[in-house]
């Protein structure tokens, strides 16, 4: 009986820890999201080359053969038209 209560308590504690880890993780994603420049190849400029990099990874996700973390500029674990649009809005900008 007492053992069962301990198991339940352990599950609750684990769930609470996971909740907070997830909250911190989400906060990091949001802060990183605001810092994204759209400069995927790191040459300091946002142009068609960055769009091509993202274009090659469209419809990919973490673990996918074409997945490229840098191309997921909005950090939603999916490279799609939203990321391409973001890079397009950053076209011509210079990072740093």
Cα gap 73→84, rounded to integer Å: 9
Asked if residue 74 binds Ca ion (CB under 5 A), the reply is yes
Contact window for Ca ion (CB under 5 A) among 8-16, 28-36, 56-64, 75-83 = 75-83
**Cα–Cα distance between 96 and 82 in angstroms, integer?**
23
41 interacts with Ca ion by CB under 5 A: yes
Show contacts with Ca ion in window 3-32 (CB under 5 A). none
Distance CA 84, CA 57 (A): 10
Which chain residues interact with Ca ion by CB under 5 A?
Answer: 39, 41, 43, 45, 50, 72, 74, 76, 78, 83
């Amino acid at each position: 009986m007492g053992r069962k209560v301990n198991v339940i308590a352990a599950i609750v504690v684990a769930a609470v820890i996971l909740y907070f880890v997830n909250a911190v993780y989400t906060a990091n994603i949001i802060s990183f999201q605001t810092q994204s420049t759209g400069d995927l190849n790191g040459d300091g400029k946002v142009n068609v080359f960055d769009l091509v990099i993202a274009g090659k990874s469209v419809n990919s996700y973490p673990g996918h053969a074409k997945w490229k973390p840098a191309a997921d500029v909005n950090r939603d674990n999916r490279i799609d038209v939203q990321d391409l649009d973001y890079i397009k809005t950053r076209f011509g900008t210079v990072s740093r």
